[in-house]
Amino acid sequence: DDALREMRDNLSSDSEFVTTDALTSIEERAAAADKAAWVVFAGGLLCFGLYLFILNWHIVRPVRWTAQKLEEIQQGSLHGTMPVIRISEMYNVGLLLDRFSEHLVELYSHASQLEEDAAGKRDLENLMRTVFQASLDGYAVWSMEGILVANPGLLRFVGLNTPEELNEKRESLGLSSWDELGDIYAKVTAGGTHRKELLIRSVSGENLPCEVTYLPINFRGMSCVLSYFRDIRMQKRTEEELRFAKDAAEQAAKVKSDFLARMSHEIRTPMNGVLGLTHLALENSPPPSQKMYLEKIQASARILLGVINDILDFSKMESGKFHLERARFS
């Protein structure tokens, strides 16, 4: 434009041809410049497009995948395939995210299992707490420092209200001495169990037979012993009644055996007399009718004597004095 203004200002007739040539040269140069500009613009546009493609393929795409992967991890969706990444740093980041998602899958699985185990443990603890509080049997957790906790069943059993009272009156209740408890504690905490019968005296002075089972337990971070007290008063009364019933039955059996033995001997003596006299009467050649009567009397007496002998055998069996004889028979 500046060159054209200068040429316009200096325009004259003698320089018309020079001016025309100059304008033609300027036009050609402008066309060449315009063409070069379009070439440069097209090349720049192509380079920019190529740059955008490379940027999108090698940077934007991996970054987008990384952001999407992080969002999926946040939402708990841990499945996805890592794209092809050419940049080593981005590839390492993607590889770390992929491995991290795999570890999260394992962690979620373990967390779910742990949650189920924790829920089961809580349910079991609630159940055991309910049983501990409502059981009619006695439970006590203790260490060598004293009784730590006791359930209401044990406190009712001995007639007390608190575990502190149980600690204070332990010896008066007839519980084991500390020396004996020390032996039990050492045996049980080493992994064993111990069971014995114990006679406890209640606060009112009543004797309370019970069976105590000692089991190892970890309580409040300490190695302790769980004592399970089972009331066996009913069992002892039943055993006593059974012993009395057994003695009475044995006495009745002995009386019966003595009665059968005496009765059999008393009956067999006159029966032998009947058989002997019948035998003597048959030897005196009685009349036929009397002989028939005597033979029937003799047969009946022998049958009755056999019954008496059998009763004696049963009496010997019951008294333990029965012996078998070895003899030939048909």
Reading the block at residue 186, the tokens are 């050492």
The pLDDT of residue 140 = 83
**pLDDT tens profile 245-272:** 999 988 888 888 788 778 877 888 888 8
Q: Are 219 and 205 in contact (CB under 8 A)?
A: no
The pLDDT of residue 243 = 92
Residues 158, 227: Cα–Cα separation, whole Å: 15
Reading the block at residue 219, the tokens are 């309580």
Q: Are 175 and 198 in contact (CB under 8 A)?
A: yes
Q: Which residues of the chain have pLDDT under 50?
A: 13
The pLDDT of residue 95 = 64
Where are the strands (E) in the chain, listed by range?
Answer: 138-143, 146-150, 194-201, 207-219, 222-231
Q: Are 184 and 194 in contact (CB under 8 A)?
A: yes
Q: Look up the pTM and report it.
A: 0.45
Residue written as token pair 């006791």: 150
The pLDDT of residue 210 = 84
Residues 176, 325: Cα–Cα separation, whole Å: 59
Task: Give one DSSP letter per residue of 222-272, joined into a string.
Answer: EEEEEEEEEE-HHHHHHHHHHHHHHHHHHHHHHHHHHHHHHHHHHHHHHHH
